[in-house]
């Protein structure tokens, strides 16, 4: 899981203050030492750590914290705000040209995810902006890069221009742009070549393509898993090409956090998108505030909600919400909800986006077996329509029938019904505006 170690260490450091009432300057210094170590261990750039710690320390030694009755919360707040600042405060939107087409040049080292990201971006533009993107395959060096782009283009139904591997990439781009203009495509995405490391020849070629294409956006793809190396790569590309933004890929893996926290400060260029999986829909706008709360283990509720909105049938979702408010949530709704959640991706990833869950030790080795969900569904399917609408009908003999019908042990049926009732209870409380269970998360 991304940022796991960092989150844990930050929470531990700050958690020590929770047991105290008022805190002293030396308490603050102690916490800051631990935060510093946590960041260094997460592979955050040394200079970024130094500045960060200095700012947080001076704010934390101020009256707002020392006088406060809830110093731990105050420090969480400051750390959160400073994390947001380090990552650039606001989401940076994709540049758009005043004239058609907007030209986006993708650059990056081999294996960083450039080709995949080019297609994800085309897919996103198509889906979210109703755009008509066009891709140019100009990576003539990596074996199969062109075929890969063509296959992905076919999947998302976006045209891919290519001239094979024997034509000069600059020429490929020139002809590709002409065709895109002819066909009136509004976005052109150029997939350029990468190398295993930055070298003179690569930069020459990219500079020539830049000069010819005059891109509105030069997006550098870097692999978050490579930590400080990603930051070095970003610096290298930016020095040569003056990139306009960065895409940080593989944040679904267990990256330590160094790249996400350092790139903006080191290069001055914003992270615009993050890649969080191999699927075409796994590209998200980078929001510094959401990333900060994810790093602090406060979950990423906003992303979760957005994901839910993408996957959910809007009308169905509204109906479910309405039922929750009216306490009419029954097993039929439960079935619908299970199916929607299954569509959102691996359950353990989703659960970890909920505040307080990311670092919950009980979930540390959580693996939700898709079979469990199938079993739960089988149990619900074995209920009669009346039972699904009115779970109170489920007496012991009905439960035995359901167990036999679904092929699941009676204990499992009982447990599932009990959990369902607990969930109903929780919904009831939340719909009454009682979120008291959540307040403790920031510590108090
Ligand atoms: P390129 O050489 O930079 O064009 O790299 P590719 O686009 O071929 O990506 C290299 C590998 O990384 C492929 O297997 C991709 O599926 C994978 N990949 C790209 N982005 C992500 C991501 O955000 N998450 C994960 N898990 N894998 C990714």
Distance separating alpha carbons of residues 236 and 394, to the nearest angstrom = 65
Q: Which structure tokens are listed for 225?
A: 């898993």
Does 95 have pLDDT greater than 90? yes
Q: Give the model confidence (pLDDT) of 347-370 as tens digits.
A: 666 666 665 555 566 665 656 677
User: With the C-alpha atoms ordered 70, 58, 88, 206, is the resulting torsion angle positive or negative?
Assistant: negative
pTM: 0.73
Domains of the chain: 4-86 (1.20.120.140), 102-297 (3.40.50.300), 303-442 (1.10.260.30)
Q: Give the model confidence (pLDDT) of 38-88 as tens digits.
A: 999 999 999 999 999 999 999 988 877 777 767 777 788 889 899 999 999
User: With the C-alpha atoms ordered 427, 428, 432, 435, is the resulting torsion angle positive or negative?
Assistant: negative
Contacts for 166 with CB less than 8 Å, ≥ 6 apart = 140
Q: Give the model confidence (pLDDT) of 152-192 as tens digits.
A: 999 999 999 999 999 999 999 999 999 999 999 999 999 99
Neighbour tally for 335: CB within 10 Å: 16
pLDDT classification of 146: cutoffs 50, 70, 90: very high
Pocket perturbation via mutation, ligand 1, pick of 116, 197, 206, 254 by most ligand atoms within 8 A of CB? 116
**Quick one: which atom of ligand 1 is closest to the CA of 142?**
2
Q: Which structure tokens are listed for 286?
A: 């980078």
Residues forming the annotated binding site? 108-115, 191-195, 249-252
Does 419 have pLDDT greater than 90? no
Residue bearing the CA closest to ligand 1, atom 28: 278
ipTM: 0.99
Mean pLDDT on 396-412: 94
110 in contact with ligand 1, CB cutoff 6 A: yes
Determine the Cα angle at 164 with ends 158 and 166, to 5°. 150
Does 143 have pLDDT greater than 60? yes
Predicted local confidence at residue 301, as pLDDT? 54
359 in contact with ligand 1, CB cutoff 6 A: no
355 in contact with ligand 1, CB cutoff 6 A: no
250 in contact with ligand 1, CB cutoff 6 A: yes
User: With the C-alpha atoms ordered 124, 125, 126, 130, is the resulting torsion angle positive or negative?
Assistant: positive
Closest C-alpha among 416, 432, 417, 436 to residue 324: 432
Q: Which residue has the tokens 């782009």?
A: 149
Residue bearing the CA closest to ligand 1, atom 9: 113
Q: Compute the distance from residue 115 Cα to the ligand 1 centre, in Å.
A: 7
């Amino acid at each position: 899981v991304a940022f796991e170690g960092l989150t844990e260490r930050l929470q531990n450091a700050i958690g020590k203050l929770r047991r105290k009432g008022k805190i002293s300057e030396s308490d603050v210094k102690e916490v800051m030492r631990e935060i510093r170590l946590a960041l260094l261990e997460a592979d955050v750039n040394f200079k970024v750590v130094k500045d960060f710690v200095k700012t947080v320390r001076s704010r934390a030694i101020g009256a707002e914290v020392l006088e406060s009755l809830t110093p731990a919360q105050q420090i969480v707040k400051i750390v959160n705000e400073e994390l947001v600042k380090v990552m650039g405060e606001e989401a940076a939107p994709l540049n758009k040209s005043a004239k058609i087409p907007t030209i986006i040049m993708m650059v990056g080292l081999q294996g960083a995810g450039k080709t995949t990201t080019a297609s994800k971006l085309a897919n996103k533009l198509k889906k979210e902006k109703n755009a008509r993107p066009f891709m140019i395959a100009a990576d003539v060096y990596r074996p199969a890069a062109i075929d890969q782009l063509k296959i992905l283009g076919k999947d998302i139904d976006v045209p891919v221009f290519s001239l094979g591997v024997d034509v000069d990439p600059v020429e490929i781009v020139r002809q590709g742009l002409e065709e895109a203009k002819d066909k009136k495509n509004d976005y052109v995405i150029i997939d350029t070549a990468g190398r295993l490391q930055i070298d003179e020849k690569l930069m020459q070629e990219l500079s020539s393509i830049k000069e010819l294409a005059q891109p509105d956006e030069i997006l550098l793809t870097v692999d978050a898993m490579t930590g400080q190396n990603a930051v070095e790569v970003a610096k290298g590309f930016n020095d040569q090409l003056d990139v306009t933004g960065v895409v940080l890929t593989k944040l679904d893996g267990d990256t330590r956090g160094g790249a996400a926290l350092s790139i903006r400060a080191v290069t001055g260029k914003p992270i615009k998108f993050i890649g969080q999986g191999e699927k075409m829909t796994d590209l998200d706008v980078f929001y510094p505030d959401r990333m900060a709360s994810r790093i602090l283990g406060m979950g990423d509720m906003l992303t979760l909600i957005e994901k839910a909105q993408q996957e959910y049938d809007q009308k169905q979702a509204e109906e479910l919400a309405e039922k929750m408010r009216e306490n009419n949530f029954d097993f039929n709704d439960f079935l619908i909800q299970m199916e929607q959640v299954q569509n959102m991706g691996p359950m353990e990833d989703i659960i970890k986006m909920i505040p307080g869950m990311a670092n919950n030790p009980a979930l540390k080795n959580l693996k939700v077996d898709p079979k469990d969900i199938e079993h739960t569904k089988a149990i619900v399917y074995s209920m009669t329509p009346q039972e699904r609408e009115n779970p109170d009908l489920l007496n012991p003999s009905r439960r035995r029938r359901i167990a036999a019908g679904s092929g699941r042990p009676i204990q499992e049926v009982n447990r599932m019904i009990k959990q369902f009732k607990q969930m109903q209870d929780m919904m009831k409380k939340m719909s009454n505006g009682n979120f008291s269970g959540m307040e403790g998360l920031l510590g108090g």
